[in-house]
Amino acid sequence: MIIFNEGKYKSLYAAEQGELEKIAQTVAQDQDFRPVYHLAPPTGLLNDPNGLIFDGEKYHLFYQWYPFDALHGMKHWQHFITQDFQQFSQADLLVPCELYESHGCYSGGAVLIDDNIAVFYTGNTRRPSDNQRVPYQNLAIFSKDGKLLSKRPLIEQAPQGYTEHVRDPKPFLTKDGKIRFICGAQRENLTGTALVFEMDNLAGTPRLLGELTLPAFDNQGVFMWECPDLSQMGDKSLFIWSPQGKAREREQYQNNYHAVYALGNLDDRQFHAEQIAELDQGFDFYAPQTFSGTQTMLFGWVGLPDLTYPTDCYKWHSMLSMPRQLRLQNGKIYQQPIENIYKNLTALQSITVEKEAVIADLDRAYLKFDANAQPFSLKFFNNAQNQHLTLSYDGKLLCLDRSQTEQTDSIQALGEKRYCEIKNLHQVEIFFDRSVAEIFLNNGEKAMTSRFFICTRENQLCTDKPLTLQVGYPKKIEVD
């Protein structure tokens, strides 16, 4: 075991006594933005959800974590076990401590084999002689009760024809019992793709089968595919990934990077897509992953690469989305929070707002209303400084406007508004949790997930016409 400790490449094993507790005290100073029912890192930076798996009884959930600061440093896998997504218990982490993961345990996925959890992940390393990045693909075995049993490297470099950007293996079992995993990759001509590897069993050596082909996707400008994910929805295959470099458009693909899905049929390595779309059209949503071994559920990272947030000064950054249930409707993916979130809503009531209303704890409330396919405009959290977030609909386009909230670098670099085209808008659901809003339209036909930052709250809601809202409060999660 090696204890890495070089600048931001510092492992938990190098933490000084009391160091994390001190960082946690800084985190606790944040009175405005820490969520109550979204998973946020205890300290430091969280990014991609990893290794999501249902083991037959419990759900295992890992995420990318740098414990020491709100920046992308040495990545660990934080690990929780839960049965209900309300109560989370800590389990063994993946801590980088071997040469084949010297610069971080990067993203990956999990599959259940022989009653254990086989975790495939990328070992980020840098060659000491010239600092060149070399990606390993590694395997770690966890018991169902969350103990790390072993780990070993499987592949020691990127295959020929690809750059050092080969990462994020997501494993699955084939019908004939072999193990396949798909990695995000960059070709030597700097275009993005995914690679499929196969191994006979866990003791085996992976061989490269080739690229996953997806001709229906317009790959123009795309230089990297991150976090590929494959699952089954009824008789359809669902491929989710995060392409980087796709040109931004006014009303879709509005961020710098995107989370996209293709729904269709996978024939060996050929993906015949019938539908390709963005998963979420908000400001902050990336690298989602589905759970292996259950009805399709998904977590996303409420964040994007390369952004800073106003919480960085409190030494924490980003959170996960709520767990979402995916379903197939009209040949498209619909997503909404899992049943349990709705079941645990408290103090449900109906409130009619003529023009303005003070709603208790609006900053962590769930709101639902029928838009009747008519234009509307809603403002949240109006305060003395007149900071507010606006959600409006013109009969065709929904617009989320952050121009009157605290400015962030993403607002400055990537614009103040996000749009979502939706006809016949009836149901609008908004889950506020301090500095995040997850918005679902028409029972999950479209989703928009965004961070927003408003300092002092008076919990006020303003509307341009009378509106009857269902209001409730999602249950606070508990982490131990």
Return residues touching ligand FRU (CB under 6 A).
47-48, 64, 75, 106-107, 122, 167-168, 226-227, 287, 305
* Closest to ligand FRU by CB, 64 or 335: 64
Give all strands of the β-sheet with 270-278 in edge-to-edge order.
224-233, 236-244, 260-267, 270-278
- Residues 30, 32, 48, 409: which is the catalytic one? 48
Q: Which two tokens stand for residue 404?
A: 């009157």
**Residue 130, C-beta contacts closer than 8 angstroms, at least 6 positions apart:** none
Contact between 435 and 370 under an 8 Å Cβ cutoff? The reply is no
Residue owning tokens 């010239």: 130
Beta strands in 331-423 (DSSP E): 332-337, 346-353, 356-358, 366-370, 376-380, 389-393, 397-401, 417-421
Phi/psi at 159 (nearest 5 deg)? -65, 160
Burial 87-121 (b: 16+ CB within 10 A, else e): ebeebebbbbbbebbbbbbbbbbbbbeeebbbbbb
Distance CA 66, CA 12 (A): 9
List, in sequence order, the alpha helices (H) in 221-355: 339-343
Residue owning tokens 């950054």: 317
Phi/psi at 13 (nearest 5 deg)? -65, -15
Quick check: helix, strand or coil at residue 14?
helix
Q: Which two tokens stand for residue 257?
A: 């990077």
Distance CA 104, CA 140 (A): 14
Task: Name beta bridge partners: 299.
Answer: 289
Contact between 76 and 105 under an 8 Å Cβ cutoff? The reply is yes
Q: Answer yes or no: 48 catalytic.
A: yes
Distance CA 150, CA 140 (A): 6
Residue owning tokens 């939706």: 422
Distance CA 147, CA 91 (A): 7
Cα Dmax for the chain: 68
Task: Name beta bridge partners: 115.
Answer: none
* Closest to ligand FRU by CB, 227 or 371: 227
Chain centre to alpha carbon of residue 415: 21
Q: Which two tokens stand for residue 236?
A: 């359809």
List, by residue number, the catalytic residues.
48
